[in-house]
Chain A
């Protein structure tokens, strides 16, 4: 297969990561029982915190996202991943709200993670980094929100793995979350989702350049394995209809089948491009750890197997959003969250948006989704007494 790595070193190691950093001196007790600390949270903010500190929205990024929500990515130079939603006058209006997006604990864009140096050894953490959970990510974010002096977030939102963090926030810190918008998410990772993650992890670990996780010290990078992991995962973010609409069986730069294993089809070429461009900006070990955190997520299990118990007595206003063609986090999974919230007599809205764009729809131009989010936030802002932007 023609998937040559762009460089032999770890991605972005020479690139500065602009933005803010919080060094947390305290230790964090992780779900695994291990303590981690001191640690760093890298984050971006947009807009201004008001005098009452009541207009903060926490954005939780997805598996392969980062804190560069609405600014060019320092490695790829591409626009922020939610540029379409975040800005003056946009749905997440920077004239009205103060937006915060931290790179998750264990990420690879400046927050403490397996690619960073373990101060105890002076060497990269690699596989000595502790396995962490979605709840651990949220615990780390709480330190950031404390540091910013915000008692209650106006809203916590995010899609996919970001949605899991939203649910964890609302469950573990209900009094600190006025409104919660989990998008295209689930209260637990399904067997199918764990299975896809395992394919990705095995692809990385099968790459000889992975070196048992020690690739940084060996000056190598398992780019081929990570690219394959990304290719497999990327299929799950789309839908059969979307792939057909975009590519069909169209051939790539040729008029006839090549009778070889080159990228004959446009869809092959597209996936290879997705794989190769991903490894420029993402760390393979980070990918292993983060997919594991998703797999371990089961909010009901933390509450005697009853999901409604996770939201008992909550006063948070919820808006659950799903997409019809999302088969990774299908509507049925989102509806389970809604049923649990109903059972907890919570204030909940639930909208399923009709689209053929699959799971990735939450990142794309979906007017129905954007209008829903805008309307929900406006309603919440009225209840919270926030001034119009």
Chain B
């Protein structure tokens, strides 16, 4: 191994500052389990789980640069997306399937959600909450589509085409026979609120929701 490669590995091995929702997701995952991280970016969560929880981790990422960075660091990641590349995985192939801040950018979120619940014995999903008061206020008072920290794009070029509120998401899960085992409402930095996570107040105050799901 060249010195360059060694330095790269060492830097990568430094404890990463996991994003708030990822840190909470990581806490939900049992050590030694099989994990599929969909939309794994540059492998932040996978790398953390591999080193600290001894998981057998796999990833899927849309961007080529993200995939290549992951594989360069020894992670098992494929180029693909949640809409097109989940159908082939066998049922129950993973203990956990993680989809972080991505469901709202899929073409068919309902289908994706069903695949998550099928492929994983459990699924961990985080979504931006479109019911947050700033978003409501933006439309109600300013009459403009909202731009927030989690949803920063103008309407004409946003990848977020299927937005929902925390309560919308809970309703869909109920309709599709998916049990919400745990849910946490979070602020924009991923700090949890002490509220009923799927109640009306959380639906107004939380900027994101994090859910641990299982098939019924």
Contacts and interface: CB of A to CB of B under 8 A. Distances in A.
Interface of A: 89, 93, 96, 308, 317, 319-320, 335, 338-340, 342-345, 347-354, 368, 371-372, 374-376, 378-380, 382, 388-389
Contacts of B6: 388
B71 A349 contact: yes
B74 interface: yes
Contact of B78 (A317, A348, A354, A371): A348
11 contacts: A338-B80, A345-B89, A349-B67, A349-B75, A349-B77, A351-B71, A371-B72, A374-B72, A375-B72, A376-B74, A379-B75
A368 B72 CA distance: 9
B47 to A, nearest CB: 11
B143 to A, nearest CB: 43
Given A340-B88, A347-B58, A348-B78, A372 B68 contact: yes
Interface of B: 1-2, 5-6, 9, 56, 58, 64, 67-68, 70-80, 85, 88-90, 93
A352 B78 CA distance: 9
Contacts of A351: 64, 67-68, 71, 79
Contacts of A352: 64, 67, 79
> Could you tell me the dominant secondary structure of chain B's interface residues?
mixed
A334 B80 CA distance: 12
A371 B68 contact: yes
B89 A319 contact: no
Nearest to B56: A347
B88 A375 contact: no
A178 B199 CA distance: 50
Contact of B79 (A344, A350, A378, A388): A350
A343 B89 CA distance: 5
A319 B88 contact: no
B76 A347 contact: yes
Contacts of B58: 347-348
Given A349-B78, A351-B68, A343 B5 contact: no
A343 to B, nearest CB: 4
Given A96-B1, A375-B74, 8 more contacts: A343-B88, A349-B76, A349-B78, A351-B64, A374-B5, A378-B5, A378-B9, A379-B73
A345 B89 CA distance: 7
Given A352-B64, A372-B68, A342 B89 contact: yes
